[in-house]
Amino acid sequence: MPHHTSLITLLCLGFVLAFLFGMLAQRLRLSPLAGYLLAGVVAGPFTPGFVGDQTLAPQLAEIGVILLMFGVGLHFSLKDLMQVRRVVVPGALARIVLMTALGFGVGRFFGWDDGTGIVFGLSLSVASTVVLLRTLEDHQLLDSRLGQVTIGWVVVEDLAMVLALVLLPPLADSLHGEQATPLLPVILKTVLKIGLFIAFMLVVGRRVIPWILERVAGTGSRELFTLCVLAVAMGVAFGAAAMFGVSFALGAFFAGMLLNESEFSHKAANDSLPLRDAFAVLFFVSVGMLFDPMILVQHPIQVLLTFGLIVAVKWLVTWASLRLLGERPGDATLAASALAQIGEFSFIVIGLAVSLKMMQPEVRDLVLAGALLSIIANPFLVTPLVGRVKRRRQLAGANTPGPMSELVNHTIVIGYGRVGRDLLRLLRDRGVPVALIEEDMDRVIQARGEGIPAVRGNAVLPQVLAGARPEAARLAILAIPRALEGGEVIAQLRKLNPEITVLARAHSEAEVKHLLAHGADAAVLAERELAHSLTDMVMSTPPYRPARTT
Ligand code: AMP
């Protein structure tokens, strides 16, 4: 095969094989992730037939990690991290220390050298953000408390791993008995670099990134907007690595997190989704390529032990720390299960350790086998639990649709925020039959508590919209602050009921235009209404108030 086409070959075969094995896994009711990993094994050097380019695969995988971490950031604000910091910081750090110590012990038991034992434990201690994200997305748990805790947990682990990666080379030196670089200055330098990067992002990035995105959204070009989202994700990731020595993944995570504060974050998330999915698949394929299946035959006991450490011991450690830190038993069980796997950071850690001659290559294969098995097993751990938790919530009334089926000639209100809440109260006072669509679970529960029939979910999704019976409704009011998303909702609404009257909320002339162009019957510019109200108030205040004629 000519070398200059190896990237194309890898991409084509990677996608084709991943698709075939993904479909097969789906048929067998396994997670498609297992299929992608298997596709990688087939494309790897340890099985006969096609062998993909071993140097390109990890780079493609890295792009997958960048886009995924960007996506995590988009769903994760600083506020969320602050809310869960009391649980995730001590929990995640304790788990890393405990698992590393345990790995060290296991290493001693098997007669490995100390470096190998430490790296073995370290690599088992971090959960894969990629796998976690897939789990949360599949079960629509991204915005739940569980999502916050587990994502916060892996973010803390990822941060700790960035530090660990910098510490491995000096540690390797000292283990080899060479003139060791003192560890403290290295730690301080790394912490300083990460600190500088975070400060830079908070001061400059926080202003510049949303500003750019809003400008680009104003041009109305969907293509440019998507491109801008990608440029921000990849650009910040690259800049973080080149200028601050922070990992690509962490850089992308921050870029996403800053965008999260912008009103366009939902659209940015949706637009980058297809590319993210495609590269995430390549990530799993390239991991599969590293795997030598012979280890399963040669060292079955050690493989089982590694798997047990990840799935059982790590589960227990996580569960115990979550319970100790005050999480409810059901949530702790689900979170511990979702985090009982390993992935991308483990591969990065063992890769570095092997190249530093700090880890025996056979042990790397053990970690890979453990990762593969834990990723395959994870859905089996999580899915039944999710079903149970959801059923319990349903019993608690959180997801009952309410008296929706009798509604006719009603008004659908989308969004139960600053505008929607008051609007619903006023409409109900005037006897208008209403239905609400809101994506935030807590707000839905609150609305139902007040007797408002409500559907939970993003109104952009046709199945969510359908829950509010648009075909029988007279009006729909979009009380959400994001006009770009609003445009898409209107398009969906029109499909379901061409006759419906749609009113929408806007915050700029450009948004008014956008909404009207997408079929809104009227769009109210909030700031202009505010100006009118304020003018009325001024005009009713002396000395401007017209003198009363008696
Ligand atoms: P506010 O920004 O205070 O006006 O609140 C807007 C409300 O609308 C929040 O409660 C959001 O959760 C909700 N919301 C925003 N976008 C959507 C959407 N696409 N579908 C359903 N609810 C939404």
Q: Residues 433, 340: one domain?
A: no
464-479 per-position pLDDT tens digit: 888 899 999 999 999 9
Q: Domain boundary at 395, 415, 436, which? A: 395
* Ligand 1 center–CA 141 separation, angstroms: 17
C-alpha 440 to ligand 1 mean position (Å): 8
Closest-CA residue to 99 (of 289, 294, 312, 278): 312
Tell me which amino acid residue 435 is. Answer: A
Does residue 270 surpass a pLDDT of 90? no
Are residues 382 and 501 both part of a single domain? no
Beta bridge partners of 456: 438
Cβ(115)–Cβ(175) below 8 Å? yes
- Name residue 370's amino acid: G
Last residue of a domain, one of 395, 418, 443: 395
Residue 49 lies in a domain: no
Give me the chain's average pLDDT, please: 86
Report yes or no on whether pTM surpasses 0.75: no
Assigned domain for 143 exists: yes
Give the contacts of 189 (CB within 8 A, at least 6 positions apart): none
Does the pLDDT value for residue 271 go beyond 90? Answer: no
Q: Are strands 454-456 and 434-438 parallel, antiparallel or unpaired?
A: parallel
CB distance 485 to ligand 1 below 6 Å: yes
Instruction: Look at residue 376 and tell me whether its pLDDT is greater than 90.
Output: no
Other CB atoms within 10 Å distance of the CB of residue 45? 12
Range of the domain at 290: 55-395
CB of residue 478 inside a 6 A radius of ligand 1: no
- Residues 233-245: pLDDT tens digits? 899 999 988 888 7
Residue 399 confidence class, pLDDT cut points 50, 70, 90: very low
* Confidence tier at 52 by pLDDT (50, 70, 90): confident
- Residue 396: is its pLDDT beyond 60? no
Residues 411 and 306 in one domain: no
Select from 418, 480, 490, 492 the residue to mutate for testing ligand 1; criterion: most ligand atoms less than 8 Å from CB: 480
Beta carbons of 124 and 315 less than 8 angstroms apart: no
Residue 44 CA: distances (Å) to CA of 12, 53, 131, 252, 372: 14, 9, 21, 28, 14
Identity of the amino acid at 507 = H
The verdict on the CB of residue 439 being under 6 Å from ligand 1 is yes
User: Does residue 454's CB lie within 6 angstroms of at least one atom of ligand 1?
Assistant: no
**CATH at 473:** 3.40.50.720
- The residues near 395 (Cβ < 8 Å, ≥ 6 apart) are none
**Claim to verify: residue 250 and residue 264 sit in the same structural domain:** yes
User: Per the structure block, which two tokens stand in for 117?
Assistant: 């034992």
Asked if residue 348 is part of any domain, the answer here is yes
Do 258 and 384 reside in the same domain of the chain?
yes
- Identify whether 523 is part of a domain: yes
Same domain? 453 vs 377: no
**Number of domains the chain contains:** 2
Nearest C-alpha neighbor of 415 from the set 432, 384, 394, 440: 440
